[in-house]
Amino acid sequence: PCHAGVAPTANATEIKKAYFQQARRLHPDKNPNNPEAKERFQLLGEAYQVLSSEDLRAKYDARGKAALSDTNLLDSATFFAMIFGSEAFEQFVGELQLATLMQQEGEDVTPAFLEHKQLKREISCALALVAMLEPYVARREDEFKAAAHAKAAELSVSAFGQALLLVISGVYAAKAEQYLGFQSMRDLGARGHVAAWNQKLHIGHTRVRAARSMLRAFLASRQAQRDDPDTLDPANAGTAHVLRSSPPRAPKGKGKAGLAACAPG
């Protein structure tokens, strides 16, 4: 069987780090034409949701897979996006700080290191934006518009894609408006201050919209589980194989079982 690279005695930090590393490698955004990777990504997410929950682990360790028959687990892509954001948007927002911290968890992370990572993140986003705007600057507007529409269509189908598009595009537009406004000598930069105030209002509205979108995705995932009870049925051999590799529960403080059968060896 394949494992996520952690020992059965791995602690919560090691399990979490292993999940993040394997999930990034198997994520559908990185394996668009690989159904095997997609299936293993789904199983990995389900296994981690169980192993990372004290209640679900206790149920599983006590009564096996059947104990989870009334448990609605999130779709793995939705679960990953809720925690780390969508990798499809990294060229526009960079690697989120939570993802950075997850990779470094258990190590000594200094403020200087985080500052360096943030600078790299900003430079990466700036270079991606320059490349995207190059056709427009070169007066090839039709080419620019076609590429922008195609990219938006591609991003919109990812987890929380439409909500993230709305939020990120709004931030970019607001920051551009602020920059241009502060550079204007005609009104002594007043336009920039107005744009900054409008951005604060926009952030408040988009946070509400994003929260609603996540709630709708969560409810849709739960409904899908109800409509397809086989998802958590013991006969579902794939997920059962992932969870079956979890050994009996260790005494508290002695570590947890490793993620099992989640990724290629």
- Within a domain: 126: yes
Q: How far apart are CA 55 and CA 72, in angstroms?
A: 13
Q: What distance lies between CA 173 and its chain's CA centroid?
A: 23
pLDDT of residue 240: 37
- Within a domain: 160: yes
- The whole-model pTM stands at 0.53
| Encoded tokens for 105 | 């968890």
- Within a domain: 22: yes
pLDDT in tens, the chain (265 residues): 334 556 666 677 777 778 888 888 888 878 888 888 888 888 888 888 877 777 887 887 787 777 777 777 777 777 777 666 667 888 898 877 666 666 666 567 788 988 898 899 899 999 999 999 999 999 999 999 999 999 999 888 877 788 888 888 888 888 888 777 766 555 545 554 555 556 555 556 656 666 666 666 666 666 666 666 554 443 333 333 333 344 444 444 444 443 433 433 3
- Within a domain: 202: yes
- Within a domain: 249: no
Domain carrying residue 86: 12-244
- Within a domain: 110: yes
- Within a domain: 257: no
Specify the long-range contacts of residues 163-166, CB closer than 8 Å, at least 24 apart: 163/209, 163/210, 163/213, 163/214, 164/85, 164/86, 164/89, 164/210, 166/206, 166/209, 166/210
- Within a domain: 82: yes
| Contact between 18 and 10 (Cβ < 8 Å) | yes
pLDDT of residue 248: 41
pLDDT of residue 153: 93
Number of domains in the chain: 1
